[in-house]
Structure formats: C-alpha cells, structure tokens
C-alpha cells in the first residue's frame, strides 16, 4: 500500500480466525463505520488504511481498478483463512451518473467478518484505536421537500410516460429525494441496526456516509462463479393478508410490470453474456416479499470466461435497466433532463472487493446520504407508457419508509 499511502514500505495485513463475534454491527465505533450485512453475516470495518475519491468520467471504473491494483499489490499479506473477503478489502460507492463527483473507495484498517461458518479479523498496520461510545438516538425528525415537491414529481412522471408513448424510449426510472433533519447528529450505527433487524433479506450497507438496505444484488463473484438478483416491478404491501395476496397476484399478472421486468432481465442478459462461458436466466420471475413492498425478482447465475474481477463486472453492468431504463443511453439523457437533481450514490453500485477480485456489489436503493444532523433520502420507480403518476408517487413513498423507519424507529 506504499504508493496509495505515500509511505516507503508495504503495510502488513494480517487475517486471523476468531470465534463467533455475535452481532457484527455491535462491534462498530461511531466514526465512519463500514458495513455489508445480510441475515447477520457479512463484513464490517472501521478506520482507514487507504481512501480515494474516484475522478468522474467514462473511465472511472478502470481508474478505480488501477488504484486497487496498486493498493493491494503493495500489501504484505498474512492470511490464515484464505476465503473471499479475507486479506485487504475495499468498500466502495459509485455515483449513479458517471459525470457526477463523489465515487469513493476505502480500505478499512480493521475488518470483522462472518460468512459460511467462518469468522475472521483483518488488521492493516497497527490496530486502530477507537472509542466505542453508546449508540445515540437522533431525536425528533422533521422532513422537507427535496429537489421537487410531490406534485412537481408527478408532473415529470406524466411527461416521461408521454415521451414513452411517443416512441422515444421503452422505460425510464425516475427518482426523487426527501430531506430529513434530526435534533441531534445521526448515529449511523443505529440506522444499520434497525435496517438489519427489520430487513434481514436485504443487504444493509454503510460506505462513506451512504447508508441503506438494498434488496437488489447487482453482482456477487466467488472465483469464476457469479450471481445477480434482478428486481423490476413493485407494489406496496397490502393492508391485510388477503389484500397482500391480491396485490402480489396483480403484480405478477400486470402486463406493465412484467414488461418492465423483461426489460431489466434483457439488459442484464446482454451485458453478462459476453463476459460468461455459461449464463442462466429464469423463464419466469418470482415474488420477493419485503416488509414494505413486493417485487418481481429473478435470480441470474453464470460463470465468468476470462477471470474478470467483480469490479469489471460492475463496470459492465451499471447502469442496469432496473435503475436507468431502456434503451439505457436514451433513458440516462431523459433522467438528466427531467429529474432535476443529482442522485449522488443513489442507484449506483455499492459493495466490497478483495485482493483476488471476489466481492459483492448491490444497487444502492432504499438509502440515504447522512451528514451530521441531516439525511437525504432517495426513492424511485420504473416509468412505462401506462404509468399513473399518483400510483408512482405512492410507490416512491412506500420505498421512503425504509429509511424513515431507520431514522425514527
């Protein structure tokens, strides 16, 4: 890590097996915690051995890959465990728009992890000294409009649907933001604990102030094997078990939502096929039922042909039709024109990568950017030719509830 850190000799990296650490999130200090947790397993980190802000532009993933090669290549690694996620690991968040600033990679000084029956601790250099303070409540939360009010956002949904009907594109995903202000500084650890408990099926994450619980796995690489979970098509949960079943059945039967899902699957298939020696996509989606919404979901699996790292696959896949639209280039232009805001890290890739190119990256949905007492929440949905602006607004509001719950409890 000598080049990245400006030092004259490599820093030692030591990974050792440990006993079951219990709740991983309970081990985090308050300052800048990193996390990637699902069903209680995953990685948490703290301290910074190396950090970089990735320059924006079309070559940002290649730049990030080179930086990681330099950082990992200058590490003196003693890894007693030797599975994906051991040794030095970088957590990362990339902005949705390649022209937006703010993409960040961080190699924590300490990583505590539990996966697949193994638990380990990685320390880079000296053990970081952290003060493990009690978790604090942010107090009362007040909300205000983000870049657009609800009626203004409904208006751009109507404009987008009209342009789809006119044949300019098939689908565009539009997002909106909501601003929250707390009485006291927001303790990210509290948000992570609430999200991981309430949404165990999702990937609860924290990287460089971006915090959330995403249901969408962009890509997992383990050796040459890859996996992706594609979500497109959403309905809020019902008010009763019968209503819930009816909403799920209606979603599964909806021509609009099924077409939206097919656009997303086609996007992933066309992107991954050139990288894979084998690729499997299901003929029919399934229902993914979460506490706040139901999604049409499809599991995609494959085997890489040329040894690409997980970040190479991320670069090829982002943005997917599920968060951009179809055709993607046209949809991105429409988003830039209509949305009226910078998404920052929302709907961009977020996750981790190790020195062997293994890792897990999700799409940063159900998330917020946290800074002191303030949080900027994000939500959105896929707009099709027949989209109803009022229903799209209701869907976005249902998605906001994830982070509102994290803030309020």
Active site positions, annotated:
171, 216
Q: Which residues pair with 180 in a beta bridge?
A: 143, 375
Distance, CA of 347 to CA of 264 (rounded, Å): 14
Which among 402, 381, 399 is positioned nearest to 157, based on CA atoms? 381
| 3-state secondary structure (DSSP) of residue 4 | helix
Assess contact for 314 and 275: CB atoms under 8 A.
no
Cβ neighbours of residue 58 under 8 Å, at least 6 residues apart?
98
Q: Output the six-digit token pair for 40.
A: 């209680």
Alpha carbon distances (Å) from 330 to 169, 213, 267, 308, 364: 7, 28, 14, 28, 22
Q: What do you get for the CA distance between the two ends of the chain, in Å?
A: 41
DSSP string, 124-172: ESSPP----PPP-----EEEEE-SS-HHHHHHHHHHHHHHHHTTS-SEE
Q: No. of H helices and E strands in the chain?
A: 9, 23
């Amino acid at each position: 890590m000598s080049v990245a850190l400006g030092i004259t000799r490599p820093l030692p990296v030591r990974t050792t097996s440990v006993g079951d650490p219990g709740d991983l999130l309970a081990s985090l200090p308050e300052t800048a915690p990193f996390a990637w947790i699902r069903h209680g397993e995953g990685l948490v980190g703290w301290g910074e051995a190396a950090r970089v802000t990735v320059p924006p532009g079309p070559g940002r993933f290649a730049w990030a890959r080179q930086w990681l090669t330099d950082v990992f290549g200058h590490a003196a690694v003693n890894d007693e465990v030797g599975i994906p996620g051991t040794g030095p690991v970088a957590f990362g968040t990339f902005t949705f728009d390649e022209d937006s600033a703010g993409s960040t990679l961080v190699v924590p000084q300490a990583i505590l992890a539990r996966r697949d029956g193994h638990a380990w601790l990685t320390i880079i250099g000296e053990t970081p000294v952290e003060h493990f303070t009690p978790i604090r409540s942010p107090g009362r939360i007040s909300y205000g409009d983000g870049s657009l009010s609800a009626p203004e956002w409904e208006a751009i949904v109507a404009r987008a649907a009209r342009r789809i009907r006119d044949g300019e594109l098939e689908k565009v995903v539009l997002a909106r933001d909501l601003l929250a202000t707390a009485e006291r500084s927001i303790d990210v650890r509290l948000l992570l604990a609430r999200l991981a408990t309430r949404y165990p099926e999702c990937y609860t994450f924290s990287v460089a102030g971006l915090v959330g619980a995403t249901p969408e796995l962009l890509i997992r690489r383990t050796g040459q094997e890859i996996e992706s979970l594609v979500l497109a098509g959403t309905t809020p949960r019902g008010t009763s078990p019968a209503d819930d079943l009816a909403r799920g059945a209606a979603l599964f039967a909806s021509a609009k939502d099924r077409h939206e899902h097919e656009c997303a699957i086609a996007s992933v298939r066309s992107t991954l096929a050139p990288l894979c020696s084998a690729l499997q996509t299901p003929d029919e989606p399934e229902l993914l039922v979460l506490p706040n919404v139901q999604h049409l979901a499809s599991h995609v699996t494959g085997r890489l042909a040329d040894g690409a790292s997980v970040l190479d696959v991320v670069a090829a896949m982002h943005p997917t039709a599920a968060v951009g639209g179809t055709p993607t280039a046209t949809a991105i232009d429409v988003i830039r024109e209509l949305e009226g805001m910078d998404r920052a890290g929302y709907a961009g890739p977020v996750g981790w990568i190790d020195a062997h190119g293994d890792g897990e990256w999700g799409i940063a949905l159900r998330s917020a950017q946290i800074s002191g007492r303030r949080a900027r929440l994000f939500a959105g949905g896929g707009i099709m030719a027949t989209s109803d602006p009022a229903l799209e607004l209701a869907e976005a509001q249902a998605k906001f509830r994830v982070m509102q719950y994290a803030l309020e409890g």
